[in-house]
Amino acid sequence: MQYLPNILFVIALAAGVGFFVFNIKKLIRNIKLGRDEDRTDNKAQRFKNMAKIALGQYKMVVRPVSGIIHVLVYLGFIIINLEVLEIIIDGIFGTHRIFSFLGGFYDFLIAVFEIFALLVLVGVIIFWIRRNILHIKRFLNREMKGWPKLDANLILYFEVVLMLLFLTMNAADLTLQTKGAEHYASAEGIVGAFPVSQFIAPFFENLSIPTLIVIERAAWWIHILGILVFLNYLYYSKHLHILLAFPNTYFARLKPQGQFDNLEAVTNEVKLMMDPEADPYAMPEEGAEDEVPAKFGASEATDLSWAQLLNAYTCTECGRCTSECPANQTGKKLSPRRIMMATRDRIEDIGKNIDANKGTFKEDGKQLLDDYISREELWACTTCNACVEACPVGINPLSIIMDMRQYLVMEQSAAPTDLNNAMTNIENNAAPWPFNQMDRANWISEN
């Protein structure tokens, strides 16, 4: 019986990590539903970007208030996770503060964890105030109603509770050590330094040792179980960015923002058209008859590349893109953040459909275009790249808009009339306006 807590802990840990791995595999499968795209060139630059943008949070601090608080919460998250390692070892072996043999350095570590816990607590409360009390426009767009708002707040509540539990656990532990309780007290005196929880400890002073042990154990257990629950919450939440920001910045586009990819399928067609030697009646190559003709552009999430789908899963709905989008800021329906959220919702629905139908997708009468993203949104974009520039984790909403426009124009001939006129002009007289090409040099002789 004495090993019951250890056994329960190992089971909880295995279940928590196991279910997380299960979902991550699903996530990777969903991302791979996207079309292939090579993003493996220039590895040095890619590592540099990841180090600078994801690890170094370089683009977060462009907006100093949210940026600096985010850096604190991020650092707190990473640093306090070192303590989770000790908690796991203690949990498995039933030890008490296994790393305390580090002596003075251990005191230093615990002190740093505590200070960061406090900073995270303060940061998260400010974040909550920004989201719920201050009327910050980017948190109030139409796509932020319902689940996205609740999701954002749940994450903050999780973090508050985890930090409070961590500090409560330490305060009870400190009191138990001071009172010389068995299993807690050490021959070397007090292990760990508690610059924050020492102010909670006085509230525990008059409690009996058994009560304190209950408090300490309860805080310890709920804290570690909370972490495991939070870990598994990630897949269902925008909070996935804490993991995906790293691969996403690594695989982000490296070309100048103005350079839009040239569609290879089109290049082949154009070459064939321009080639005087090409035989339009040539027999298709062996086996080519069965090939599905290439689709131009994207009408479905699976027409997008895996990198675009990774973008969608990485989006944490901060709305920096939308708050700099000229279309959105002038009241148009388009919101680059919503483009990413809709893409993620669609690929998730496709994934669930595949799971429900034993590994194959069953037609559900829906697609990304129209059912998730409207044409009005797509046509409102000025391709100015402000959204791409604003994203702190290298997401490119513009590329999805462009792929979907390509589908509308090349597969459906469904451009707005004015644009069709401009394109007809380009085709017929080499300018978007109806001027004769032979008049192109008239300006030279005009006064």
441 is an interface residue for other proteins by CB under 8 A: yes
Q: Do residues 37 and 307 make contact, with C-beta atoms less than 8 angstroms apart?
A: yes
Q: In terms of C-beta density within 10 A (0-12 exposed, 13-18 middle, 19 or more buried), how is residue 198 classed?
A: middle
Rounded to whole angstroms, how far apart are CA atoms 386 and 228? Answer: 37
Side-chain half-sphere of 227: how many Cα atoms within 13 Å?
A: 23
Distance of closest approach, residue 327 Cβ to other proteins, in angstroms: 7
Q: By C-beta, is 330 or 360 nearer to other proteins?
A: 330
- Interface positions, 384-403, toward other proteins (CB under 8 A): 384-386, 389, 402
Rounded to whole angstroms, how far apart are CA atoms 106 and 170? Answer: 14
Distance of closest approach, residue 385 Cβ to other proteins, in angstroms: 5
Q: By C-beta, is 40 or 330 nearer to other proteins?
A: 330
61 is an interface residue for other proteins by CB under 8 A: no
3-state secondary structure of 189: strand
Name residue 305's beta-bridge partners: 35
78: number of Cβ within 10 Å: 12
Site string for other proteins, 160-189 (x = CB under 8 A): ------------------------------
- Interface positions, 225-284, toward other proteins (CB under 8 A): 255-260, 262-263, 266-267, 269-271, 273-274
Rounded to whole angstroms, how far apart are CA atoms 167 and 110? Answer: 11
Rounded to whole angstroms, how far apart are CA atoms 259 and 300? Answer: 23
297 is an interface residue for other proteins by CB under 8 A: yes
Residues 6+ apart with CB under 8 A from 44: none
Rounded to whole angstroms, how far apart are CA atoms 314 and 150? Answer: 18
Q: Count residues binding other proteins (CB under 8 A).
A: 69
Tell me the backbone φ, ψ of residue 384, rounded to 5 degrees. Answer: -80, -10
Rounded to whole angstroms, how far apart are CA atoms 344 and 83? Answer: 33
Q: By C-beta, is 91 or 297 nearer to other proteins?
A: 297
Q: In the set 381, 391, 395, 400, which binds other proteins (CB under 8 A)?
A: 381
444 is an interface residue for other proteins by CB under 8 A: yes
- Interface positions, 311-340, toward other proteins (CB under 8 A): 324, 326-327, 329-334
Q: Kindly indicate which of the ranges 144-152, 168-176, 208-216, 423-431 contains the residues binding other proteins, using the contact rule CB under 8 A.
A: 423-431
Q: In the set 3, 22, 147, 435, which binds other proteins (CB under 8 A)?
A: 435
Q: By C-beta, is 316 or 406 nearer to other proteins?
A: 406
Q: Do residues 253 and 396 make contact, with C-beta atoms less than 8 angstroms apart?
A: yes
- Interface positions, 400-419, toward other proteins (CB under 8 A): 402, 404-410, 415-416, 418-419
Q: In the set 116, 367, 379, 397, which binds other proteins (CB under 8 A)?
A: 379
- Helices 104-132 and 147-178 meet at what angle, rounded to 10? 150
Interface contacts to other proteins, rule CB under 8 A: 255-260, 262-263, 266-267, 269-271, 273-274, 296-297, 324, 326-327, 329-334, 376, 379-386, 389, 402, 404-410, 415-416, 418-419, 421-423, 426-427, 430-433, 435, 437-447
